[in-house]
Amino acid sequence: MTKCNIHYPYDSCFATKVSVGVVLVLYHAMSSRKFFVGGNWKMNGDSKSIEEYIKLLNDNTLPGNVEIVIAPPFVYLERIRKQLKPAVGLSAQNCYKVEKGAFTGEVSASMLRDIGCDWVILGHSERRHILHESDELVAEKVSMALNSGLGVIFCVGEKLDEREGGKTKDVCFRQLASLLKYKLDWNNIVIAYEPVWAIGTGKTASPEQAQEVHVWIRDWLKQNVSADAAAKCRIIYGGSVTGDNCRALGKQSDIDGFLVGGASLKPEFLKIIEARSN
């Protein structure tokens, strides 16, 4: 046992106590971040399949220590909210940057709140790359959504050529930095790391690869937002998450949940929800 020298506060005993304290703080922060599983339906579903899906969720006992959110297409949101058990949160897949006006085809965050939405997904790679949404536009949407009372699932991630070029950190940090222009409540933001090369391809980042990027993101939060935000903000993984790989991913200390695509439309979504269960 190390003997403390009371005359020198920076001796090995003090260092040991500090180290243990830091570990305990980090452990407490991790354990206080409620596991989050979101199901992004994308442009999928019809009346028949939705009825079956609602029955699946309503008829099963869901773990109370997991925050579960589903994101159907706009046209089904209100219907699903009325039929789905309250324990399951509802998310939209997009919203616009202003509250109202002459913007044909757009939907505002306040409208989503009005029909019972809790969350909105913003910055998804399919909107960034297929619909050419800029970092600046996504950041404007995030600010509007938070100000309207929605939680935001904010997506970041690199393409295959960017990963192979060693630019993963640069890309994710650039996308995150776009938010610093605004005064945001980070308690209502969930960051989803989604490597673009792993979305809908059947490929997935290894648990170690995903954990590495999540650590980078948490360190970015500490350096650019606050230590409190870094400790409390949930960072989830999205990229071909399945019932087969969810447990290995969920064991990583900085992976606080998943944003699930195709598998969220199948019964295996229930298995993914249970990824951290014994």
Residue 117: how many CA atoms within 13 Å on its side-chain side? 33
The whole-angstrom separation of Cα 168 and Cα 152 is 22
Pairing of strands 234-237, 189-193: parallel
The whole-angstrom separation of Cα 276 and Cα 260 is 15
- Rg (alpha carbons) of the chain, rounded to whole number: 20
Please check whether residue 195 is in contact with residue 157, taking contact to mean a CB–CB distance below 8 angstroms: yes
Question: Residue 242 in 3-state DSSP?
Answer: coil
Please check whether residue 256 is in contact with residue 235, taking contact to mean a CB–CB distance below 8 angstroms: yes
Catalytic residue among 67, 124, 162, 214: 124
Residue 189, φ and ψ in degrees, nearest 5:
-120, 130
**194 counts as catalytic:** yes
**140 counts as catalytic:** no
Catalytic residue among 126, 133, 158, 194: 194
User: Where in the sequence numbering do the catalytic residues fall?
Assistant: 124, 194
